[in-house]
């Protein structure tokens, strides 16, 4: 970064050693003031220091492309101001998300006992309804739904036709819907 007589910060044609020395000079002469300025905005010295360091890092990474047509201090203070505001926005969003997550967690914890009661009642009613099914119908339903067997596998296992399995499953589902209808409408 070399300053020409017009006060323009530019790196065009600068030697590497000259750029590094000028950059170091700008860093040393402005870091404390920029850090103090960032602290006045975000009220926390550690992130303020990180913000200023990131500004200088970005500046260094773009040193070949940079062409500041104003006083370097004006550019740096504006960059710190913008980064500080971005930091505050990000912190606000993160706090809102954490608050939302905590509310969700508390709500889920409160719903779990009620959910367990409902699931327990559903399991009892399902077991009762299954016991009331005809034996073959109940066996086919349990093989299909609880053991995840396909109709072909059930047919082979029981020595029945696939059509019989389909009919028995249809019958089981119809009877279970009828027996559980009052409970399902109650919880929905």
CATH code for the domain of 174: 1.10.10.10
Rounded CA-CA distance 173/181 in Å is: 12
Q: Is residue 102 part of a domain?
A: no
Residue 146 sits in the same domain as residue 91: no
Q: Strand, helix or coil at 185?
A: helix
Q: Is residue 107 part of a domain?
A: no
10-residue block means of pLDDT along the chain (188 residues)? Answer: 39 56 83 90 90 87 74 86 89 83 77 73 85 91 89 92 93 88 69
Q: Is residue 125 part of a domain?
A: no
What's the predicted TM-score (pTM) here? 0.48
pLDDT at position 10, please? 47
Q: Is residue 44 part of a domain?
A: yes
Q: Is residue 13 part of a domain?
A: yes
Q: Is residue 160 part of a domain?
A: yes
pLDDT at position 65, please? 74
pLDDT at position 20, please? 80
Question: Structural domain of residue 22, as residue ranges?
Answer: 2-97
Q: Count the helix, strand and coil residues of the chain and give each as a percent rounded to the nearest 5.
A: 80, 5, 20
Q: Strand, helix or coil at 132?
A: coil
Residue 146 sits in the same domain as residue 77: no
pLDDT at position 15, please? 52
């Amino acid at each position: 970064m070399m300053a020409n007589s017009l006060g323009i910060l530019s790196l065009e044609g600068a030697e590497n050693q000259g750029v590094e020395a000028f950059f170091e000079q700008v860093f040393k002469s402005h870091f404390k003031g920029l850090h103090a300025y960032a602290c006045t905005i975000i009220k926390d010295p550690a992130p303020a220091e990180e913000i200023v360091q990131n500004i200088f890092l970005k500046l260094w990474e773009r040193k070949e492309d940079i062409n500041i047509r104003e006083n370097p201090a004006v550019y740096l203070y504006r960059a710190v101001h913008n980064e500080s505001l971005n930091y505050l926005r990000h912190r606000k969003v993160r706090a809102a998300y954490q608050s939302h997550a905590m509310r969700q967690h508390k709500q889920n914890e409160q719903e779990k006992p009620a959910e367990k009661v409902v699931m327990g009642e559903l399991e009892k009613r399902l077991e009762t309804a299954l016991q009331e099914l005809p034996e073959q119908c109940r066996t086919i339903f349990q093989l299909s739904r609880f053991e995840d067997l396909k109709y072909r596998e059930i047919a082979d296992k029981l020595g029945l036709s696939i059509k019989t399995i389909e009919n028995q499953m249809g019958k089981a589902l119809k009877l279970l819907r009828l027996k559980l209808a009052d409970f399902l409408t109650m919880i929905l």
